[in-house]
Structure 1
Amino acid sequence: MTEMSFDVGDYNAWLTGLKSRVEQARQRAVLSVNRELISLYWQIGHEILDRQGRAGWGAKVVDQLARDLRTAFPDMRGFSPRNLKYMRALAEAWPGKEFVQQAVAQLPWSHVVTLLDKLKAPEARDWYAEKSIEHGWSRNVLVMQIESRLRERQGSAVTNFRDRLPPSRSDLARDSLKDPYIFDFLGLTESAQERDIENALTRHITRFLLELGAGFAFVARQYRLVVGGDEFLVDLLFYHLKLRCYVVVELKTTPFKPEYAGQLNFYLSAVDAQVKGPHDEPTIGLLLCKENNRLVAEYALRGIASPMGVAEYQLLRDIPAPLMPNLPSIEQIEAELQTDNASGLSDQP
């Protein structure tokens, strides 16, 4: 029997498309199952609350319910007394039926538990839930972002974006920066020099990009510019995929000085002239200083033509003392992760 011939290139293109559609369908199936599970957990929690509140059932009903559900569904995980209490907490945190339309309803159960454990304010829980969906954070990353107070830091750098960028870009650019930036993953002391920090940041570029935020792509370190026959080196050069522009980052191991803004302005002009493409937006600058007097920075940026921001960086995370006892130890986190990994689909980060 003669084997049928076909165009290999056409077949490979077809196969690539098929594999992509299969993978997308698998992902939709997983998300659908997860949404159903979280919805079930919310309903169980809501009914526990209702019976404890309306019928006056005591706390022991949770233990009894856990035993009965595990007996009825021995092959199904997630019905421990501890998990049932989290279901009740879930229903308390999001009491309305509109829960199913919110971001938290799309998260894995381990993420939901993290939100319940580490955050008390409803608006904070909703914000981190939305960011988790938007950026595809794992549970580990979610914990790190909460503990580093990302919500309070994002969009808080001193900038001149409102005056230098059109409204359609200024808000996105402002939200792309934060203050302070936390580089505690570098393992450096406060006496580290600029070159030490640059070296460490490029060695830990994945963590650095995570701290910078979504959209940043690393281009080069000590990027060489030649202007009028003189050589100048940009500390770090990035490209922001959403803003469609280059971002120059300058590191200073001293408090902010107004002349730093002038130097960065020169770099931005040079990058716009020599590097920026015809379809790129104007280059943005970020000055990272050991300390930042916000009023001095605001005055300095008023006379700068290029869009830029000023923020502090911390080599060691500054966690308020009252919060320290509430943070889990490395051993506790590892134990929870082992539990998560053993809990099947509902607990996958």
Structure 2
Amino acid sequence: MLQPNLLSDVKTLIAAAKENAIRSVDHYRTLLYWHIGERIFNEEQQGKDRADYGSYLIKYLSKELQPEHGESFSSRNLNWYRQFYKTFPIVNTLRSQLSWSHYRTLLRIENNNKREYYIAETVKNNWSVRQMERQINSQLYERLLMSNDKESVLAVARNEKLPTTPQEIIKDPMILEFLGLRRESAYYEKDLEQAIITHLQDFLLELGNGFSFVARQKRIHLDGDEFYADLVFYNRLLQCFVVFEIKTHKLTHEDLGQLQMYVNYFDRVEKLEHEKPTIGVLLCADKNNAVVKFSLPENNKTIMASQYKLILPTEEQLLNELRKEIENQNNQP
């Protein structure tokens, strides 16, 4: 009698083999483009006394190669290959997990630390090109820098250290453009919560490393009174529950008190002995950092507020926020 898992196991093996074959072909294509870029660059150096020699080489190669080998050898693409070599001059540093489409997107990033961060995160999380582009477009690196130093952000990305605080994982602001909600539309907290559940995979991607979904509207019964925590996740890197309370208005100190009660409940009732203290995140439409600071104890490490945005901000907008955050930190006694 045939085993019930036989067919599914064979299908899984076939799919894995196809995926490995595609990855292998794309890796060798990436290496080909790197070597072409190297050859073009080295040839340029031989004629460096001519200002237009590089442009001449590109046009010549494109004219000769494109009719036989197609659009991959257009002048535009040959320029990409040259830039590819100049940006990654050591072939052994290329990651086999990244496709040429990944690298072409990364070439648009001029900052070395920023580019290194996205390479490490893409490899670690197996991001598709679309997922990586979304993280770049939402300025993930800049958002993490708002609450962390550059060395810490890179160390976590490279797996050189595990995150130890919520600030090393939780972004502020969170970019939720994938929910499809319009800023000017009237909506309730339940609408935002439902949109997050509907787009849970995208929300987990926005949350970052190590998150898994636990519960929605978690019922908390306290001596006859009932409360409901909006969303509960677990983070395996921090080894703790992460409770989200959603507010579509500007944060108030009462909101923080409500979230603190939920965190206390999880710490005293749900948390196992080996797990770390629960983290509470107040996801709000707007916030006053001073209200957050003075509503919570000075040694607070488990409650934080994160503002959500329903559209992708420009890099300049986020950099302005980063500058203000740095100034606020410098002005603190």
Range into which the TM-score falls when normalised by the shorter chain: 0.7 to 0.9
Paired residues of 1:31 and 1:106 also in contact (CA < 8 A): yes
Paired residues of 2:163 and 2:237 also in contact (CA < 8 A): no
Q: Please give the alpha-carbon distance, in whole angstroms, between the structure 2 residues aligned to 1:200 and 1:21.
A: 36
Q: Please give the alpha-carbon distance, in whole angstroms, between the structure 2 residues aligned to 1:318 and 1:34.
A: 33
In the alignment, which of 174, 191, 197 is matched to residue 192 of structure 2? 197
Paired residues of 2:162 and 2:237 also in contact (CA < 8 A): no
Paired residues of 2:234 and 2:241 also in contact (CA < 8 A): yes
Instruction: Spell out, residue by residue over 1:288-310, the C-alpha distance to the aligned partner (whole angstroms, 9 max, x if none).
Output: 12223334423433357672222
Q: Please give the alpha-carbon distance, in whole angstroms, between the structure 2 residues aligned to 1:148 and 1:169.
A: 23
Paired residues of 1:157 and 1:309 also in contact (CA < 8 A): no
1:89 aligns with 2:91: no
Q: Please give the alpha-carbon distance, in whole angstroms, between the structure 1 residues aligned to 2:135 and 2:212.
A: 19
In the alignment, which of 104, 107, 111 is matched to residue 116 of structure 1? 107
Q: Please give the alpha-carbon distance, in whole angstroms, between the structure 1 residues aligned to 2:144 and 2:35.
A: 34
TM-score, normalised by the number of residues in structure 2: 0.77
Paired residues of 1:155 and 1:179 also in contact (CA < 8 A): no
In the alignment, which of 10, 34, 42 is matched to residue 42 of structure 1? 34
Query: What is the deviation of 1:170?
Result: 5.0
CA 1:310/1:225 → structure 2, altered by over 3 Å: closer, same or farther? same
Which residue of 2 is the match for residue 227 of structure 1? Answer: 222
CA 1:266/1:306 → structure 2, altered by over 3 Å: closer, same or farther? farther
Q: Please give the alpha-carbon distance, in whole angstroms, between the structure 2 residues aligned to 1:192 and 1:54.
A: 64
Larger mean Cα displacement after TM superposition, 136-145 or 198-207: 198-207
Query: What is the deviation of 1:249?
Result: 0.2
Query: What is the deviation of 1:19?
Result: 7.1
Which residue of 2 is the match for residue 161 of structure 1? Answer: none
Query: What is the deviation of 1:23?
Result: 5.9
TM-score, normalised by the number of residues in structure 1: 0.74
1:140 aligns with 2:130: yes
CA 1:86/1:173 → structure 2, altered by over 3 Å: closer, same or farther? same
Q: Please give the alpha-carbon distance, in whole angstroms, between the structure 2 residues aligned to 1:90 and 1:32.
A: 19
Instruction: Spell out, residue by residue over 1:226-280, the C-alpha distance to the aligned partner (whole angstroms, 9 max, x if none).
Output: 0122101101111223333221001122333334333212101212333334554
Instruction: Spell out, residue by residue over 1:47-99, the C-alpha distance to the aligned partner (whole angstroms, 9 max, x if none).
Output: 2122223323341221221343346x64x7732222111001111222x32x4
For 2:312, what is the secondary structure of its paired residue? coil
1:260 aligns with 2:255: yes
Aligned amino acid, residue 65 of structure 2 = L
Q: Please give the alpha-carbon distance, in whole angstroms, between the structure 1 residues aligned to 2:317 and 2:195.
A: 31
In the alignment, which of 49, 62, 68 is matched to residue 64 of structure 2? 68
Q: Please give the alpha-carbon distance, in whole angstroms, between the structure 1 residues aligned to 2:302 and 2:94.
A: 35
Which residue of 2 is the match for residue 216 of structure 1? Answer: 211
1:301 aligns with 2:296: yes
Which residue of 2 is the match for residue 338 of structure 1? Answer: none
Aligned amino acid, residue 234 of structure 2 = Y
Which residue of 2 is the match for residue 184 of structure 1? Answer: 177
Larger mean Cα displacement after TM superposition, 273-282 or 245-254: 273-282
| Number of matched pairs | 300
Aligned amino acid, residue 52 of structure 1 = E
Which residue of 2 is the match for residue 342 of structure 1? Answer: none
Which residue of 2 is the match for residue 55 of structure 1? Answer: 47
Which residue of 2 is the match for residue 152 of structure 1? Answer: 142
CA 1:15/1:221 → structure 2, altered by over 3 Å: closer, same or farther? closer
Q: Please give the alpha-carbon distance, in whole angstroms, between the structure 2 residues aligned to 1:125 and 1:305.
A: 33
CA 1:304/1:251 → structure 2, altered by over 3 Å: closer, same or farther? farther
Aligned amino acid, residue 271 of structure 2 = K
Instruction: Spell out, residue by residue over 1:169-200, the C-alpha distance to the aligned partner (whole angstroms, 9 max, x if none).
Output: 65364322001011222223254332221122
Query: What is the deviation of 1:317?
Result: 2.7
Percent of pairs identical after alignment? 34
Instruction: Spell out, residue by residue over 1:16-65, the C-alpha distance to the aligned partner (whole angstroms, 9 max, x if none).
Output: 4x876776665555444433322221121122122223323341221221
Structure 1 residue ranges without an equivalent (≥5): 1-6, 159-167, 324-349
Which residue of 2 is the match for residue 79 of structure 1? Answer: 73
Q: Please give the alpha-carbon distance, in whole angstroms, between the structure 2 residues aligned to 1:27 and 1:199.
A: 34
